[in-house]
Amino acid sequence: MKRRLAIGLLLVGTALLGVVGAWLYGQTRPLSKTFQPQLVRLRAPTDATTLAQRLYERRLIRNPRLLAWWLHRRGKPQIAAGDYEFSPSQSLFEIADILVHERFTRNWVTIPEGWTMARIAERLHERGVADKEEFLALCRQPQRFKDIDMPLPKDLHLEGYLFPSTYRLPPGTGAERAIRTMLQTTRRQVYLRYRDALQQRGLSLHELLTIASMIEKEVLHDDERPRVASVIYNRLRRNMPLQIDATVLYGLGYWKARVLYKDLRHPSPYNTYLNRGLPPGPIANPGLASIRAALNPEETEYLFYVAQADGYHRFSRTYEEHLQAIRAIRAAREPN
């Protein structure tokens, strides 16, 4: 009798272990067989429960409670800040192992809005993605990438066409592949999305990116971008010089906080104080907010603007109003 009871208990225990094992396997196995890397950026240390829920919402794991429990057992109730790369093709235990051992990734590179191709080249060189000089040399050969189904400049360079975003560019990617990745993103995010809007406004892609780049470099706050766009269009319609400081600095070849009167006399095709109309091309790589503003400017009569201490601008319809605005801003800056 005792023997039968022991055998029965053993069988029940084995069955329970099988059920638990099957459940555990089901809860920890990968969600996909396809490698689809995702960047998870923690800007500050994050508790395991919060991060597990975030990974669950990103469809990277099946069971957030199980991951949080496992991380606590491994002595990681708090996860270090940093950039991590995960894929739904990884198991829960593989993802946990990356977090436990703080295996930060260098496969992802962020290109902020408003960076020039020269600054992008420096970032890629710093991260071991591509040689800086090779990257810039290829950017000066836009027709090398004419197989990408998007209008590209023939006699200039790719400034403005390198879409600002976060890209998966592991060390050793190479300059050509990095450029192609950015151009393909511009094609998807800008050219294909706004092709009809370009036709309606009578703009080429090159003109759009040129106007958007000036907005990007001139404006700090998104809500002002459409208003600055209106000033640009109003001046173009009246054949007035755009007089945008950022274009002068681009022609100088370096950036500084203050534009001097002597800088405004610098002979450059990008000097919009000396030359009417648009500059030859973009002066930076604009983000979507500036691109949308260039496509949808506010309806105003403004022809002038001047920056305030808080980064916002005062807009004026006449030169006399503009001078008054300048005097008022200077007076506000002067100590009492």
Which of residues 105, 138, 154 is at a domain's end? 105
| Structural Rg of the chain based on CA atoms | 28
Domain count, the chain: 2
Instruction: State residue 5's pLDDT score.
Output: 59
Are 257 and 226 contained in the same domain?
A: yes
Rounded to two decimals, the pTM is 0.85
Domain of residue 93, CATH code: 3.30.1490.480
- Which of these, 182, 175, 168, lies nearest to 115 by C-alpha position? 182
Residue 323, in any domain of the structure? no
pLDDT for the residue 204: 95
Residues 90 and 132 in one domain: no
Could you say which DSSP state residue 248 is in? Answer: H
- 142 plus 289 within the same structural domain: yes
Domain housing 239: 117-302
For residues 193 and 127, membership in a common domain is answered with yes
Do residues 154 and 225 both lie within one domain? yes
**Distance separating alpha carbons of residues 173 and 54, to the nearest angstrom:** 29
In a domain, 111, yes or no: no
In this prediction, residue 191 carries a pLDDT of: 96
Same domain for 222 and 286?
A: yes
pLDDT score for 332: 76
CA distances from 122 to 82, 134, 186, 286 (A): 21, 11, 20, 18
Q: In one letter, which amino acid is 119?
A: R
Mean pLDDT, consecutive 10-residue stretches, the chain (336 aa), reads 61 61 81 92 95 95 94 94 95 95 94 96 96 97 93 93 96 96 97 94 96 96 96 96 93 82 88 94 97 96 90 91 88 69
Answer yes or no: are the C-beta atoms of 76 and 47 closer than 8 Å.
no
- Classify residue 38 by its DSSP letter: E
Please report whether residue 41 resides in a domain.
yes
- First and final C-alpha spacing in the chain: 101
| pLDDT attached to residue 11 | 56
Question: Quick one: pLDDT at residue 12?
Answer: 56
Of the residues 105, 126, 151, which one is the last residue of a structural domain?
Answer: 105
Q: Are residues 91 and 228 in the same domain?
A: no
Within-domain flag for 232:
yes
Residue 275 lies in a domain: yes
Position 110 in a domain: no
Please say which residue of 105, 129, 162 terminates a domain: 105
Based on the domain organization, do 169 and 264 belong to the same domain?
yes
226 and 91: one domain? no
What DSSP string runs through 263-325? GGG---TT-TTTS-S--SS-SS---HHHHHHHHS-------EEEE-TTS-EEEESSHHHHHHH
In a domain, 296, yes or no: yes
Does 72 lie in the same domain as 181? no
pLDDT for the residue numbered 331? 81
Whether residues 99 and 124 share a domain: the answer is no
- Inside any domain, residue 143: yes
Count Cα neighbours of 50 within 13 Å in the Cβ-side half-sphere: 10
Q: Are residues 151 and 275 in the same domain?
A: yes
Q: What is the pLDDT of residue 256?
A: 79
- Residue 310 has a pLDDT of 86
Three-state SS at 109:
strand
